[in-house]
Amino acid sequence: MVQSLMQPATAHVQTATTNGEQLASIREVIAGGVSSSMRAHAIPVPLVVQRAEGDRIWDVEGRELIDLNMGYGPHLFGYADPELSAALARQLTEGAMTGLPHRVDQEAGELIARLVPSVEQVRFANSGTEAITSALRLARAATGRTEVLTFDGHYHGWSETVLRAGKANFHEPAPDSTAPQPGALGMIPEALAHTLQVPWNDLPALRAVFEAHGDQIAAVICEPVMANACVVPPAPGQFEELRALCDRWGAWLIFDEVITGFRLGRGGAQERYGVTPDLTVLSKVMGGGVPVAAFGGSRSAMAMLADHRAMHLGVYAGNHLSVRAVATMLGKIERSPEIYEQLEQHGAYLEQRLRAMFAEANRPALVSRVGSLLSVSLLHRPTDLSRGPRAAARAMDFSAHRALQIRAQQRGVYFHPSPIEPWFLSTAHSAEDLDHVVAVVRDALDSVPESR
């Protein structure tokens, strides 16, 4: 259908396109219909967004859905937060980027330093992947070592030394969980030659890898709450042990707080668990949906960047629009500490209602939560996380969970179809919305065949 250029913008909204037709047209020009391969499996049934506000998205057919994926986590105050939108609109009229220092750099940097306990100085980047790449490079430069220790199932972006195989088939036995394999075709075979891996919450394995390689380890990087393959909090004592091992062997401890930063509290997971990493990587909530990330630490940890011996680059790194987003989001967070209490209460409420609902329906499910971050997984057989996330994932019913997601989406609730992907709450999710979500999932469950 040819549209007149004179037509008002809203006419576009009224074109009679279905989600499926629109997605097919998108696929003609966007390879695979998505701009991140990770999203390829996120929509078993086509869903094309017209707009998003609060905790809702409206699709091109005009249907309204409650969203529990929330753009994979950035929108702590919901979509289209008026304060953020106004600040960004103003910044656009004042110049989105000049490649020169701007006053807003100070404002945003000071906010991060006030809110995140271990951080005195930062550098901005455009994505979690970029910030992690630079943080690892800095740790390797400062220690003069090459090995980096990671945890099985933790995701640190898609760059060459951290993209490991396994997320897509997390429920299948790992071939060798200590020797991670490249996670994508086209990576050089040796990409992970300097990347070690141990299971999460396995203290004997952690001690053993330090005994074997401690004097070569530049850094240990973790998601302080594992959130990319179920929500798995740290076992009691793990962080104390990890901090002590890093100190003893001279390795840097890097917290990837891309998800947990400003979500699990104003000071992120490090504040919640009382542990001090050497470097912290921040993104998602801090930008409220605008692409931005940062990595930072003490002045001494950042010294090689401050005096330009180490390198971190990027034309758009620290652009004024992104840094304005940070200053606005964190200013709002600093002014409203009470939101974390509300998020905690709503998270606990949803967790408890979902558990009761699955129990009443007599369907095994695993619901795991830290704050406003949940994972909800339909199971073949009852399990918990006590034997580790991989063992739990083997009990998950991936196809039934996907069928549940399809039926919930048809009934107006969107969450990720993979049972290992988290649900993200925002301050826009009201108790009534959560009741509605539980009712929809309950109704959808009835038409999902039980696994034998």
Ligand X SMILES: Cc1ncc(COP(=O)(O)O)c(C=O)c1O
Interface residues with ligand X (CB under 6 A) are 72, 127-129, 132, 155-157, 223, 228, 256, 258-259, 283
Q: Pairing mode, if any, of strands 56-59 and 121-125? A: unpaired
CA nearest neighbour of 230 among 374, 39, 42: 374
Smallest gap from Cβ 212 to ligand X, in A, equals 26
What six digits make up the tokens of 9?
């913008």
CA dihedral 86, 92, 94, 95 (to 10 degrees): 150
Smallest gap from Cβ 72 to ligand X, in A, equals 6
| Closest residue to ligand X in the complex (CB) | 128
Smallest gap from Cβ 447 to ligand X, in A, equals 31
Query: Which amino acid, residue 64?
Result: E
Of 22 and 197, nearer to ligand X (C-beta) is: 197
Smallest gap from Cβ 129 to ligand X, in A, equals 3
State the maximum Cα–Cα separation within the chain, in Å, rounded to a whole number: 71
Of 267 and 364, nearer to ligand X (C-beta) is: 267
Of 155 and 262, nearer to ligand X (C-beta) is: 155
Q: Pairing mode, if any, of strands 217-222 and 195-198? A: unpaired
* Rg of the Cα atoms in the chain: 22
Smallest gap from Cβ 253 to ligand X, in A, equals 15
Residues known to be catalytic: 155, 256, 284
CA nearest neighbour of 272 among 68, 116, 102: 116
Of 13 and 40, nearer to ligand X (C-beta) is: 40
Smallest gap from Cβ 415 to ligand X, in A, equals 16
Of 54 and 153, nearer to ligand X (C-beta) is: 153
By three-state DSSP, how is residue 197 classified?
strand
Q: Can you tell me the distance from the alpha carbon of 381 to that of 45, in angstroms, rounded to the nearest whole number? A: 27
Inter-axis angle of helices 339-360 and 431-446, to 10 degrees? 20
By three-state DSSP, how is residue 426 classified?
coil
CA angle centred on 366, ends 289 and 56, rounded to 5°:
30
Of 258 and 365, nearer to ligand X (C-beta) is: 258
Q: Can you tell me the distance from the alpha carbon of 351 to that of 78, in angstroms, rounded to the nearest whole number? A: 20
